[in-house]
Structure 1
Amino acid sequence: MTAYSVLIPFVPRRPEQVLPYAALVQWTGARRLWQGQSLILEPHQTFAHVAGAGFRVPVGLGVTLMPLRHPYEAALQARSLAMLTGQPVVAGYGPGGTSLQRSLLGSPYRSPLTAAREYLGVVRGLLTGASEEEVAAAGGEYFSCHGRLAPYPAPQVELGLGVLRPGMARVAGELADVAITWLASADYLAEQIMPALREGAATAGRPVPRVAAMVPLALTRPEREPAELALASNAAHLQAPHYQDMLRRSGIEARDEEPLARAKALVDGDAFLSGDLDALTEKLARYERAGVDEVVLNLTGVANLFGPQAAMAELKTLLAALGVS
């Protein structure tokens, strides 16, 4: 049965802004509290504050960007977060766009797939207590690490990998515990991503990773235009070539020069879900039928246009309708 989780629907400026969402996870049947990459409050530190405030809930990083930290630092931060919260952590990683890679590294990864494979291999070796030689062997062209984390008991850290297209899905199948998707319709997941995950897992002789789908959505209301909500939720993604390519593969042409037309394509293609409670419940059920294990409710568009209180009220309404209140 698919679990439902909560995404913090804004970039926090103060850690106390996150506490109501942590409380929502603690006091309902929601599985986990998620945050994507932030360049204002660093997500590991935000979640550490939440734990210190008394809300020790399972958390997910979906995703942090590989160019920002060496794999050793990534493993140390993820394990530290598990120890601070006393809860399992999904530590998701992704290579980011080529412009970010060039800005921070001097040049983009020649092969993001190879970079992701090496990164996850080193992080996993560190977290599982592999020998220094085994950790070093997991690196290669992009990452090297000759060392180990000091052994100490901690709750489980699961490795996540951001997945947009089948190539990265195969890498996730080989190495990740959780494949994390964003803006992917249920049909696209069923038809292209799930088969690639199974292929990668079969190649590595391991179980197929769980799938956590970040799903942007909003209830229809008289004062709302779905395309405006979709744009408020995903304006930056719609400009990124790797997202445009993923959407094209899923049958959604979101390359129109007019931003609102791009956003309308998301709504028409069910990459952004819109409808009344019954319609949204049915659209979300498609993700379960596609094989998704965890749907992360993303109300960013509502928060950006109508404020965090509106997003919180809508989250409560959706969780109740989904039977996880």
Structure 2
Amino acid sequence: MRIGLTGRPASTEQLVAQAKAAEKDGFSSVWYDSTVLGDPLAAITVAGRETSSIELGTAILQTYPCHPLLQANRAAAVAEAMGRPGLTLGIGPSHAPLVSGMYGLNYDHPGRNTEEYLHILTALLRGDTVTYEGQDWTTRGGRVRTPHPVPVLLAALGPRLLRIAGQLADGVVLFMASAKAIETHVAPRLREAASTAGRPEPRIVAQLPIAVHDDLDEARAATAKTAGVYENLPNYRRIMDIGGARTPADTAILGNEQSVTRQLQTLIDAGATDIQAFVVPVGDDRAGSRQRTMDLLASLTD
């Protein structure tokens, strides 16, 4: 399996140690959210110079606060600073409470806004000179030079974003999408859009909470405490409903080693190409619990 980790370092030193350990242990990737060290691209620049082959991705960078031309230039600068291929740009429109509530920006048309953003960003990262006049985003004669290819994944959960991800991006990076949601909702729409557009088979990076633990009730409680904040965000609420999940704990991969292995294989069978592990420590021995999960995941990596 292609298994990556969700990186949540508390310091630059921890960031480097985590990335180097993940590469040594055979994990395919490490993914950083928008809060990591204040800017995940800064984190990736540091980690990328201390590693040699592991994929380092953002999951996700928010689109609204950053013009796509600036975003492409930032990605190109990181790719150059890393000195090697391996940067993957995961982007998404985020959520109304953050975009309109915290930033004070208009969130009335996230689908249109994201589609225009992707048109500009992906063309720039291909090396095209881009002139695009949209309702939300415009660039005139924009051009970016990248020393290495920078794939773009979209945080797509609804039909419109899955369509434009298939048409324009290299795939999707998901959260809270169960195997059922991937098989019945995500994969068919994404693959059909990519095929119609003449695009390669898209990646499906599935991020879910994972804990290897013998007490399921305790594992569910730990997941609820860690991931419960996502339960009432509309985008995640819809994908959980599609997957038949009432709470984030219902989407989590929990159980002993044999059970977790079976559940991870079910994700792959449903269409996921990569698994992004959001490791949840459980119980009083949080370090031991985390290590047990990490040991199993490392044993399953390709």
> Is 2:60 aligned against 1:63?
yes
**Distance (Å, rounded) in 1 between the aligned partners of 2:284 and 2:68:** 37
Q: Which residue of 1 aligns with 2:273?
A: 293
**Distance (Å, rounded) in 1 between the aligned partners of 2:125 and 2:227:** 33
**Distance (Å, rounded) in 2 between the aligned partners of 1:72 and 1:310:** 44
Q: How many residues align?
A: 300
Q: Which residue of 1 aligns with 2:291?
A: 313
Q: Secondary structure at the match of 1:274?
A: strand
Instruction: Could you tell me which runs of 5 or more consecutive residues in structure 1 were left unpaired when the two chains were aligned.
Output: 254-261
> Is 2:281 aligned against 1:302?
yes
Within a 5 Å distance, the mapping from 1:182-261 to structure 2 comes to: 182-222=175-215, 225-253=218-246
In the TM superposition, residue 233 of structure 1 has moved relative to its aligned partner by 2.9
Detail structure 1 runs of 4+ shifted over 4 Å in the superposition. Answer: 303-307, 309-312
Q: Which residue of 2 aligns with 1:164?
A: 157
User: Is the Cα contact below 8 Å between 2:91 and 2:154 reproduced in 1?
Assistant: yes
> Is 2:278 aligned against 1:284?
no
The normalised TM-score by structure 1 is 0.84
Given candidates 159, 166, 169, the residue that maps to 1:173 is: 166
User: Is the Cα contact below 8 Å between 1:197 and 1:208 reproduced in 2?
Assistant: no
Within a 5 Å distance, the mapping from 1:21-100 to structure 2 comes to: 21-38=18-35, 40-52=37-49, 54-56=50-52, 57-85=54-82, 86-100=84-98
In the TM superposition, residue 222 of structure 1 has moved relative to its aligned partner by 4.9
Q: Which residue of 2 aligns with 1:258?
A: none
The normalised TM-score by structure 2 is 0.90
Identify if the C-alpha distance between structure 1 residues 63 and 276 changes in structure 2 by more than 3 Å, giving closer, same or farther.
same
Q: Which residue of 2 aligns with 1:143?
A: 137
Q: Deviations over 1:186-219 (max 9, x none)?
A: 1110111111102322342322311111121101
Partner letter of residue 55 of structure 1?
T
In the TM superposition, residue 323 of structure 1 has moved relative to its aligned partner by 4.7
Identify if the C-alpha distance between structure 1 residues 316 and 107 changes in structure 2 by more than 3 Å, giving closer, same or farther.
closer
> Is 2:2 aligned against 1:3?
yes
Tell me the C-alpha RMSD between the 2 structures. 2.4
**Distance (Å, rounded) in 2 between the aligned partners of 1:50 and 1:191:** 36
User: Is the Cα contact below 8 Å between 1:58 and 1:89 reproduced in 2?
Assistant: yes
In the TM superposition, residue 243 of structure 1 has moved relative to its aligned partner by 1.2
Identify if the C-alpha distance between structure 1 residues 67 and 310 changes in structure 2 by more than 3 Å, giving closer, same or farther.
farther
**Distance (Å, rounded) in 2 between the aligned partners of 1:84 and 1:224:** 45
Q: Secondary structure at the match of 2:210?
A: strand
Given candidates 108, 125, 133, the residue that maps to 1:110 is: 108
Q: Secondary structure at the match of 1:160?
A: strand
Identify if the C-alpha distance between structure 1 residues 73 and 45 changes in structure 2 by more than 3 Å, giving closer, same or farther.
same
Q: Deviations over 1:30-52 (max 9, x none)?
A: 11111122165211111212234
Partner letter of residue 319 of structure 1?
L
In the TM superposition, residue 183 of structure 1 has moved relative to its aligned partner by 1.1
% identical equivalent positions? 23
Partner letter of residue 90 of structure 1?
T
In the TM superposition, residue 161 of structure 1 has moved relative to its aligned partner by 0.1
Instruction: Could you tell me which runs of 5 or more consecutive residues in structure 2 were left unpaired when the two chains were aligned.
Output: none
**Distance (Å, rounded) in 1 between the aligned partners of 2:297 and 2:243:** 28
Identify if the C-alpha distance between structure 1 residues 314 and 36 changes in structure 2 by more than 3 Å, giving closer, same or farther.
farther
**Distance (Å, rounded) in 2 between the aligned partners of 1:6 and 1:195:** 26
User: Is the Cα contact below 8 Å between 2:131 and 2:138 reproduced in 1?
Assistant: yes
Partner letter of residue 51 of structure 2?
F
In the TM superposition, residue 104 of structure 1 has moved relative to its aligned partner by 5.8
